[in-house]
Amino acid sequence: MSDIETLEQDIVSAVASAGDEASLEAVRVGALGKKGSISALLATLGKMSPEERRTEGPKINGLKDRVTAAIAARREALKDAALNARLNSETVDVTLPVREAPTETGRVHPISQVIDELTAIFAEMGFAVAEGPDIETDDYNFTRLNFPVGHPAREMHDTFFFNPKPDGSRLLLRTHTSPVQVRTMLAKAPPIRVICPGRTYRCDSDQTHTPMFHQVEGLVIDKQSHLGHLKWILEEFCKAFFEVDNVKMRFRPSFFPFTEPSMEVDIQCRRDKGEIRFGEGEDWLEILGCGMVHPNVLKNCGIDPDEYQGFAWGMGIDRIAMLKYGMNDLRAFFEADVRWLSHYGFRPLDLPTLAGGLSA
């Protein structure tokens, strides 16, 4: 038996005994790789005489073709065996119900839903949405909003401060979204009509307060804005948001450093078996604060208070979500409980619109 025949038997035997594709690949490299045994034989053809090349060339090339074919056949056999083993080990229970699509099982968080509802309502009134950073300066969060340094009103806000900088200044987590109003007035000339939804932070935690919560504030600056406009906007908002035909509201005097006069707003309601129904009853519930923008705030933001005036309001998004959808514990909003979200969440494709219904 010639050396070529012996080499062929050895390689074919190794191919047949390869138990997986990794072993087969090792045999292929050993035979046909750059330093393989068959490749070495092919390299000797260049040193042979023409007569030897005519004799040995077909033998060596034939060996290469047969080994290549044997490897390809073995590879297909191994793939078929692996597929059969997988099919035998993986079974499908055809009696199981079909899984729901992600668009059916996924839910939009009530906070996101209410922000979308707010945006839809105020967009119909011509308001734009303004946003700003969660980390703010003391100047934007307090000073420009008529909170002088050392003023007792600063104690109304339990603030998260960062470590002082070398110059002594300190950044903070904004305690309200009013800094967005400041940034808007500094960047844009009147008339201004914006809402400012976003996260806010205060050192507080109980059934109705969390260290991080959500607010939406509104701001209107124009030459002839007055409290009548503010009252109409808030009434129309409450009717649309709570989806009632009529609401009764009362405005009580209050104090906020950034508005003068300042008011708190109550809405008529009826408490019945743990539920609150709006637009009926003889009870009252506070839902927001508002007032005319203080002239000092306008001056601090580069607006002439002798030419322009405006009004602003603010409310807790989490609070009005609880009131509308019957949730009695604010902490559940942030616990990431899938069961709670499945119950209180909203279908992702049911976008709120005034025409189609906010919470339909």
Domain-embedded: residue 38: yes
Highest mean pLDDT among 207-216, 253-262, 275-284, 350-359: 253-262
Q: Is the pLDDT of residue 297 over 50?
A: yes
Say whether both 70 and 140 belong to one domain.
no
Q: Is the pLDDT of residue 155 over 70?
A: no
Arithmetic mean of pLDDT, 256-268: 92
Contacts of 340 by beta carbon, 8 Å cutoff, 6+ apart? 332
Between 181 and 276, whose confidence is greater? 181
Count of domains for the chain: 2
Q: Is the pLDDT of residue 1 over 50?
A: no
Highest mean pLDDT among 28-42, 141-155, 174-188, 238-252: 174-188
Say how far apart CA 125 and CA 127 lie, in whole Å: 6
Say how far apart CA 261 and CA 253 lie, in whole Å: 8
Pairing of strands 212-222, 171-173: unpaired
Say whether both 167 and 284 belong to one domain.
yes
Say how far apart CA 241 and CA 234 lie, in whole Å: 10
Q: Give tens-digit pLDDT for 185-195.
A: 999 999 999 99
Q: Is the pLDDT of residue 205 over 80?
A: no
Helix residue ranges per DSSP H, the chain: 3-17, 21-32, 37-43, 50-89, 102-105, 110-124, 138-141, 178-187, 227-242, 295-300, 317-325, 338-344
Q: What CATH number is attached to the domain comprising 157? A: 3.30.930.10
Instruction: Give percent of the chain above pLDDT 70.
Output: 93
Number of other CB atoms surrounding residue 18 within 10 Å: 19
Q: Is the pLDDT of residue 257 over 60?
A: yes
Residue 45 belongs to what domain range? 3-89
Say whether both 183 and 221 belong to one domain.
yes
Q: Give tens-digit pLDDT for 2-16.
A: 677 787 788 888 888
Identify the bridge partners of residue 196 per DSSP, sorted by sequence position: 217
Q: Which of 145, 130, 128, 140 is nearest to 184 (CA)?
A: 130
For residue 99, what are its two tokens? 């899984």
Global pTM exceeds 0.85: no
Say whether both 60 and 191 belong to one domain.
no
